């Protein structure tokens, strides 16, 4: 097992329903990162914003291909969620892409009913553990954070990784639960959120954070675009 895993979390504003503009923006941010990273983490639905209209903008492969290109270019894994269509069904799919171009995924299990996500996207099933550089990484998406039994560390993972579009009105819960998940599972916990306002009228204050197994803060960013590293 590699002793340390250097992670960069990209807390950014997202342009509504514009995958090209969003991936171009993230390309610019990534081009300025340190060269010795192991993992780069993007927010939930980083290419489109948290939309309930996937019919015309679900990823047809372009955004996933962009992730593979960035992973190869940076020699770092890239992680983030996209809306995807599979067999005429839609999923909020969290991809973890290695520098070798291997893409593994987890489909969000706990959908945000207040936004109607349960009416649009199919429900994921099992907790997904990724093996990367000797680390075991558990993938989770946003609202999954409120369900501690689902993330219970019975598979001995080392890092619990959340990507989110977590709204400003509930950001205190986000801060508290990230630390709680780290402490109760005795693992590192990273949560990467967005900032700005989307076309549904939801405001986002960021509060992306990285915590050790005792709940101590390793990196934190409030309501601005920022890159967290630890």
Where exactly are the structural domains of the chain?
A: 7-229
Tell me which of 44, 68, 179, 189 is the catalytic residue: 44
Confirm whether 44 is a catalytic residue.
yes
**What does the DSSP 8-state code read for residue 120?**
H
Mean of pLDDT over the chain? 98
Q: Which residues of 48-86 are buried (b: 16+ CB within 10 A; e: fewer)?
A: bbbbeebeebbbeeebbebbbebbeebebbbbbbbbbee
* Per-residue pLDDT at 200: 92
d(CA 109, CA 81): 13
- What is the tens place of the pLDDT at every residue in 90-130? 999 999 999 999 999 999 999 999 899 999 999 999 999 99
Confirm whether 108 is a catalytic residue.
yes
Tell me which of 108, 117, 179, 189 is the catalytic residue: 108
Q: What percent of the chain has pLDDT over 70?
A: 100
CB atoms under 10 Å from CB of 215, counted, come to: 15
- What is the tens place of the pLDDT at every residue in 19-31? 999 999 999 999 9
d(CA 40, CA 9): 6
d(CA 175, CA 223): 13
Nearest to 122 by CA among 110, 131, 132: 110
Tell me which of 68, 117, 142, 189 is the catalytic residue: 142
Contacting residues for 125 by C-beta, under 8 A, at least 6 apart: 107, 109
Joined together, the tokens standing for residue 111 give 């959908």
**What does the DSSP 8-state code read for residue 57?**
T
Q: Considering the domain 7-229, what is its CATH architecture?
A: 4-Layer Sandwich (3.60)
pTM: 0.98
- What is the tens place of the pLDDT at every residue in 171-205? 999 999 999 999 999 999 999 999 999 999 999 99
Confirm whether 189 is a catalytic residue.
no
């Amino acid at each position: 097992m590699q002793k340390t895993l250097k992670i960069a979390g990209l807390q950014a504003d997202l342009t509504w329903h514009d995958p090209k503009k969003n991936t171009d923006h993230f390309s610019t941010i990534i081009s300025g990162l340190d060269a010795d990273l192991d993992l780069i983490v993007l927010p939930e639905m980083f290419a489109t914003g948290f939309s309930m209209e996937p019919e015309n903008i679900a990823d047809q492969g372009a955004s996933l291909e962009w992730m593979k290109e960035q992973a190869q270019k940076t020699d770092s894994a890239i992680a983030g969620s996209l809306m995807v269509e599979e067999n005429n069904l839609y999923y909020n799919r969290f991809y973890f892409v290695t520098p070798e171009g291997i893409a593994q995924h987890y489909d969000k299990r706990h959908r945000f009913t207040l936004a109607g996500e349960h009416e649009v996207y199919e429900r994921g099933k099992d907790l997904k553990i990724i093996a990367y550089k000797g680390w075991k990484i558990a993938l989770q998406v946003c609202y999954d954070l409120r369900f501690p039994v689902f993330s219970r560390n019975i598979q001995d993972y080392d890092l619990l990784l959340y990507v989110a579009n977590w709204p400003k009105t509930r950001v205190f819960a986000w801060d508290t639960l990230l630390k709680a998940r780290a402490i109760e599972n005795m693992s590192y916990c990273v949560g990467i959120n967005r900032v700005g306002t989307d076309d549904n009228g939801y405001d986002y204050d960021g509060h992306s954070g990285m915590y050790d197994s005792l709940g101590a803060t390793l990196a934190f960013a409030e309501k601005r675009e920022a890159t967290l590293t630890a």
